[in-house]
Amino acid sequence: MNPANSDSFTCILPWRTQNHYQLLVDGDQFFPRILQAVASATSAVDIEMYLFESGQITDELIDHLLKARDRDVYVRLLLDHVGSHNLRHNDRERLRTAGVDLRFFNRVKRNKHLRNFSRDHRKIVLVDCAVAFIGGAGVADDFSPQHRGKRAWHDAMVEIQGELVHDWQLLFERSWQHYDSVHEEELRAKLRQAFDRSEASPLMNRSLPQARVVASRGLGHKPILGSLISEINKSSHRAWVCTAYFYPSRKLLKALRKAAQRGVDVRLILPGDHTDHPSVRYAGRTWYRPLLEAGVRVFEFQPRFLHLKAAAVDDWLTIGSCNFDRWNLHWNLEANLEALDPELNQQVTHLLEQGLHASKEITLSSWKQRGWHEKIRERFWKWVAMFLARLPND
């Protein structure tokens, strides 16, 4: 991997050992912590975000960012052009007028054709290069129980302090460099220095608390999925996967089935009726039967929309923006935290256990008894999904 290559958004950084994590579940936990960190910023705030739309949460964040600018804090926002389409014009102007460096990933243009599908799906907030917030949630009222009540989307962010913050900052800089011709040489120097620093870092060692940053950019680069499949293939007692959009690759399906067949406790936690993309849910359900027949246990989350993306496989875990589905991995920029850390593993396991308790288990007998209209919808949307998945990247 060449750090000077501004066209590459893929990044697999070394394992780091000196870190502290706090799992923040739902918007009533992670939004206050993010706002508090921004309010305390002294030098820089960097945000790379897919979903960023106007509303009460965004109003609060913008107010904090403007106050940070009053303190001469350097603020950069890299937002996805599609994910931020509900960010009002006056909110954009407030940010720009205050001196916030606001940029949009892959602006939709007619002459780009299929390249318009490529989106920045990452969710990263960095403050003073001292604390990072990463996960699956966007900046929107939909994630806030305070504003949406029991209808708020269920998700989590991880607050990170320690060596890993430097690597999340590096990942942000790689994306930012793609748009920055004025400071290109300065940014390339930072990247070279960071990768020089990485050479002396430890390799994977399951006897040490460790974590690393893994990011993908679509276009066939799938290190996040590769790590998950590798760990499932090595698993001995547990492989729990939670995702908001279940449209798995053949390799992932094979890994899940084989693990279950050799006696591993394999569980999928997926959205129930509450979802923002029913078509994806119907397409994904067509794989329930072969999974159930192999011994995989399938659970559908009942209370609200499950937007969480996480997996716990034995002592290893991954959590972040990636849904492990074909569409995201085919087109999007994604970023996950991978960890071998007992404390964080316990926090994520507890979160997944809560998800299981709030879910309805789909058994093979009940699945065979579903209505014909459900089967028709499932088949139709699977055909649509398969067609879209086969679209060329360029």
Q: How far is CA 340 from CA 21, 107, 205, 348, in A?
A: 12, 37, 8, 12
Per-residue pLDDT band at 8 (split at 50, 70, 90): very low
Whole-number average pLDDT of the chain: 88
Residues 6+ apart with CB under 8 A from 354: none
CATH number at residue 279: 3.30.870.10
Is residue 216 in a domain? yes
What pLDDT, on a 0 to 100 scale, did the predictor assign at position 239?
Answer: 98
State the total domains in the chain.
2
Evaluate the CA torsion angle 49, 54, 55, 61 in order and state its sign: positive
Asked if residue 183 and residue 303 are part of one domain, the reply reads: no
What pLDDT, on a 0 to 100 scale, did the predictor assign at position 205?
Answer: 76
Q: Do β-strands 74-80 and 44-49 pair in parallel, antiparallel, or remain unpaired?
A: parallel
Is residue 1 in a domain? no
Residue 143 pLDDT greater than 60, yes or no: yes
Residue 193 pLDDT greater than 90, yes or no: no
Q: What is the pLDDT of residues 210-254, one digit of tens each?
A: 999 999 876 556 889 999 999 999 999 999 999 999 989 899 999
What pLDDT, on a 0 to 100 scale, did the predictor assign at position 189?
Answer: 62
Q: What is the pLDDT of residues 307-356, one digit of tens each?
A: 999 999 999 999 999 998 877 777 789 999 999 999 999 999 999 999 99
Asked if residue 323 and residue 292 are part of one domain, the reply reads: yes
Q: What is the pTM of this model?
A: 0.90
Asked if residue 217 and residue 154 are part of one domain, the reply reads: no
**Alpha-carbon torsion, ordered 392, 311, 308, 91, to 10 deg:** -60
Asked if residue 229 and residue 80 are part of one domain, the reply reads: no
Is residue 205 in a domain? no
Closest alpha carbon to 274 in 310, 302, 246, 243: 302
Asked if residue 244 and residue 118 are part of one domain, the reply reads: no
Residue 4 pLDDT greater than 60, yes or no: no
CB 360 within 8 A of CB 299: yes
Asked if residue 366 and residue 331 are part of one domain, the reply reads: yes
* Cα–Cα distance measured from residue 192 to residue 190, given in angstroms and rounded to the nearest whole number: 6
From 178, 198, 218, give the residue that closes a domain.
Answer: 198
Is residue 348 in a domain? yes
* Cα–Cα distance measured from residue 210 to residue 82, given in angstroms and rounded to the nearest whole number: 35
* Cα–Cα distance measured from residue 149 to residue 375, given in angstroms and rounded to the nearest whole number: 33
3-state SS of the chain is CCCCCCCCCCEECCCECCEEEEEEECHHHHHHHHHHHHHCCCCEEEEEECCECCCHHHHHHHHHHHHHHHCCCEEEEEEECCCCCCCCHHHHHHHHHCCCEEEEECCCCHHHHHHHHCCECCEEEEECCCEEEEECCCECHHHCHHHHHHHCCECEEEEEEEHHHHHHHHHHHHHHHCCCCCCHHHHHHHHHHHHHHHCCCCCCCCCCCEEEEEEECECCECHHHHHHHHHHHHCCCEEEEECCCCCCCHHHHHHHHHHHHCCCEEEEEEECCCCCCHHHHHHHHCCHHHHHHHCCEEEEECCCCECCCEEEECCEEEEECCCCCHHHHHHCEEEEEEEECHHHHHHHHHHHHHHHHCEEEECHHHHHCCCHHHHHHHHHHHHHHHHHHCCCCC
Per-residue pLDDT band at 261 (split at 50, 70, 90): very high
Asked if residue 325 and residue 238 are part of one domain, the reply reads: yes
Asked if residue 239 and residue 155 are part of one domain, the reply reads: no
Is residue 174 in a domain? yes
From 198, 224, 243, give the residue that closes a domain.
Answer: 198
Domain boundaries, position 153: 15-198
Asked if residue 216 and residue 81 are part of one domain, the reply reads: no
Asked if residue 165 and residue 228 are part of one domain, the reply reads: no
Asked if residue 182 and residue 86 are part of one domain, the reply reads: yes
Is residue 4 in a domain? no
Is residue 394 in a domain? no
What pLDDT, on a 0 to 100 scale, did the predictor assign at position 185?
Answer: 61
Is residue 8 in a domain? no
From 141, 175, 198, give the residue that closes a domain.
Answer: 198
Asked if residue 258 and residue 182 are part of one domain, the reply reads: no
Closest alpha carbon to 135 in 322, 369, 324: 322
- 343: tokens are 């404390």
Closest alpha carbon to 222 in 10, 391, 49: 10
